[in-house]
Amino acid sequence: MMNVLSDRINNLATSQTLAMAAKARELKAQGKDIISLSLGEPDFNTPDFIKEAAKQAIDDNYSAYTPVDGYAELKEAICRKFKRDNGLDYKPSQIVVSTGAKQSLYNIAQVMLNDGDEVILPAPYWVSYYEMIKLSGGVPVVVPTSVETDFKMTAEQLEKAITPKTKMMWFSSPCNPSGSVYSEAELTSLCEVLKKHDIYVVSDEIYEHINFSGGSFSIGAIPGMFDKTITVNGVAKAFAMTGWRIGYIGAPEFIAKACTKMQGQVTSGANSIAQRATIAAVDADPKVLGHMVEAFHSRRDLVINLMNDIPGFKNNIPEGAFYVFPDISYYFGKTLKGMTIHNADDFSMFLLEHANVATVTGDAFGNPDCIRISYATSEEQLKEALRRIKAAVTE
């Protein structure tokens, strides 16, 4: 019998973050008291001034199809934001607005990768990078890091990973899932290697404002990198707008045009009301986000302090985003409550079954020794979740 589904979809991995979130919802529906620390979504409401801009857009009848690459006013606002926050001097013709930063990333993979092109991924990496690259014919080349190096790739590691087929490097800073933030000096060191080999970079900066280190730095601002960098951003994380689905890129003009061409055949322009609301978001002083950033910082400290009391958890100190990524390899080969832990997948399932806490296996992010825990929830929930985890591994 002919296969009905394509090899393409059959070979595509399911998103582990979405899968664990769905499993947690399923167990909750069955009446189980599950605390979900699996999904990367702020627990704040979208700021009122952004909602007011959306309401005004409805009243002003922004209900027609939008330009494929975004409203001109939004692209101009994004240019102002890039200049103000990142020291990047883009023109509107270099901006493409998409239905979430995930689509922005997929567009890039589709328009830049040919079969066999290699893409360097410092691990841990965001779960969808790997599959997007594969789906576009590229070959992910994973460069492992560890908690001891703050989950950051060095210039020496980068140099060793490069081959004649290397075309790009993709990374995020602040990083999902580790919360690590590359310093200007660390990025400059990487750029010396990238420039020598003429490699393009995708810099995912979606978490830039959720940063406890005093500010993030854009790799595109390093001399010689602007024309080799595609900067990806959006409003989902910092502005608590995950459901509004607006992402964007700043890129060399020929890449921006290619992404617009691709998007024009797939989704066309992003939602009209969400785009008008995003103008208000990106034009706002980032200081308006201060209360959210302070809350995340406080939760980070709480989670790290509680984790330090759990045997076998090895942590770095995340400087951004809203995740911790503990190394739990201490438990590999051990038996807990009758369940033998072989890997991070097993440990994550153990916590779901015996602690009623949903996390995500680090294997989904390219690091099989870790699990990802999101602290985008209340301090009360975090205290209870960590209490349950400690009890599950010690009692």
Query: What pLDDT score does 1 carry?
Result: 52
Give the number of other Cβ atoms within 10 Å of residue 190's Cβ: 25
Contact 200, 168 (CB under 8 A): yes
Low-confidence ranges of the chain (pLDDT < 70): 1-2
**What pLDDT is recorded for position 26?**
86
Q: Burial of 395 by CB count in 10 Å (0-12 exposed, 13-18 middle, 19+ buried)?
A: exposed
Residue 285, SS3 per DSSP: coil
Q: What residues form DSSP beta bridges with 314?
A: 327
List the structure tokens of 384: 């209870």
Strands 339-340 vs 335-336: parallel, antiparallel or unpaired = antiparallel
**Residue linked to tokens 């992404």:** 259
pLDDT value, residue 216: 78
Are 351 and 326 a contacting pair, CB within 8 Å?
no
First-to-last alpha carbon distance for the chain, in angstroms, is 52
Say which DSSP state 353 is in: H
Residue 5 pLDDT:
93
Cα dihedral 20, 328, 296, 277 sign: negative
Contact 234, 42 (CB under 8 A): no
Distance CA 191, CA 50 (A): 37
